[in-house]
């Protein structure tokens, strides 16, 4: 499928994403003023958001990555979180902010936050670009949340469908044709 036909509707423009990164970066800078933060990108979806966000964080920032998955190649979370790549640096005694693209179930973020707390992090928070509105208020809510979106499968700006479409500069709802190809 042609990349420009992958979305049936664009729900977040490139301009809105950058505006949101600036807002989140300013809030993190204010909250951790005078301190160092270790910002941990949750691979692979975080890449565009993470690189744009840290430009607007006016602090000493240490960068690391962790890779986890709960989707395993489908459009539905399995609730089975697997750590696929661990950190390279220790988090003991550090202020840690996990950066992710979207909270769907929140299970992946909760599991990683628990791991970092056990490893002795001074503080652990999360920063996400998107929060899916599912109607389930018991899910984890990140301290730093950019935008609320409808409960739909979205692609673009790091979000993928079977590892494709991460390179779209905007976020859109996946086309029905792509989902039909999966079934």
Rg of the chain over all Cα atoms, to the nearest angstrom: 16
CA of 56: how far to CAs of 30, 106, 170, in Å?
Answer: 11, 25, 19
Helix axes 47-54, 14-31, angle to 10 degrees: 50
Q: Is 136 a catalytic residue?
A: no
Catalytic residue among 104, 137, 160, 176: 104
Within a 10 A sphere around the Cβ of 15, how many other Cβ atoms?
10
Within a 10 A sphere around the Cβ of 62, how many other Cβ atoms?
14
Tell me the catalytic residues. 104
């Amino acid at each position: 499928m042609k990349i420009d036909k992958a979305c049936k509707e664009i729900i977040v423009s490139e301009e809105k994403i950058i505006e949101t990164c600036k807002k989140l970066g300013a809030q993190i800078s204010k909250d951790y003023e005078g301190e160092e933060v270790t910002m941990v990108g949750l691979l692979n979806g975080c890449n565009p958001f993470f690189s744009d966000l840290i430009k607007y964080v006016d602090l000493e920032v240490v960068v690391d990555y962790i890779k986890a998955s709960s989707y395993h190649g489908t459009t539905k979370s399995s609730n089975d979180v697997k750590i696929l790549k661990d950190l390279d640096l220790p988090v003991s005694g550090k202020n840690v902010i996990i950066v992710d693209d979207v909270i769907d179930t929140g299970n992946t973020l909760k599991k990683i936050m628990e791991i970092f707390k056990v490893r002795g992090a001074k503080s652990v928070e999360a920063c996400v670009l998107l929060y899916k509105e599912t109607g389930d208020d018991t899910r984890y809510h990140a301290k730093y949340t950019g935008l609320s979106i409808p409960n739909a499968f979205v692609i673009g700006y790091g979000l993928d469908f079977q590892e494709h479409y991460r390179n779209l500069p905007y976020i859109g709802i996946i086309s029905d044709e792509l989902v039909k190809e999966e079934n």
